[in-house]
Copies of this chain bind each other. A is one copy, B any other.
């Protein structure tokens, strides 16, 4: 049997591991399954990563990185506030559309190892904190100009994430309960992008007296 070079095989293992860990979480993922999916032998996992933990670590770190770099990319930019928020919601949504299982991975991993949170924070905490401060300043400014109600950046972020993330955690339940076909579901989800933008922007509207 011909062989691949180092990086090809390693990448194949990583891809397989990502697939399995995303769908099962750490505890229910079997290294044998990962090996099988990667089309390699179990011993190769050991050769490249030594332990299941190491392999998971590699996958997890990569995913967290992609979340952060994608999901907060826009907020730091210099764009008009409303435009920026709309883009941010859409960007988050698109990311989730291509990575629907990532929220589950992160949540279940934090349930497994609560200390993971500190771990992540050390990598990206500073960055996130700066973005929040900048956003808060812009929100305050817009509020002073009477464009939006008074709102904390934190609450706005929670609103955005809530609207976007939960759908991808629960759509299997939804599909079943509403007897949607797969294509119906796809339409429903596609539709939620606009709905989410609307909700988030509406939540900012100045109070009516």
Contact = CB atoms under 8 A, between A and B. Distances in A.
Copies in the complex: 2
Interface in A154-181: 154-155, 158-159, 161-163, 165-167, 169-170, 172-174, 176-178
Contact of A107 (B104, B110, B118, B205): B104
Q: Quick one: which of A120, A121, A167, A199 has the most chain B CB within 10 A?
A: A199
B163 A25 contact: no
A117 interface: yes
Q: Is the interface of A mostly helix, strand, loop or mixed?
A: helix
14 contacts: A25-B25, A104-B111, A107-B107, A110-B173, A114-B172, A117-B173, A117-B176, A132-B178, A154-B178, A154-B188, A158-B166, A158-B192, A202-B203, A203-B203
Interface in A101-160: 104, 106-108, 110-112, 114, 117-118, 120-121, 125, 128-129, 132, 154-155, 158-159
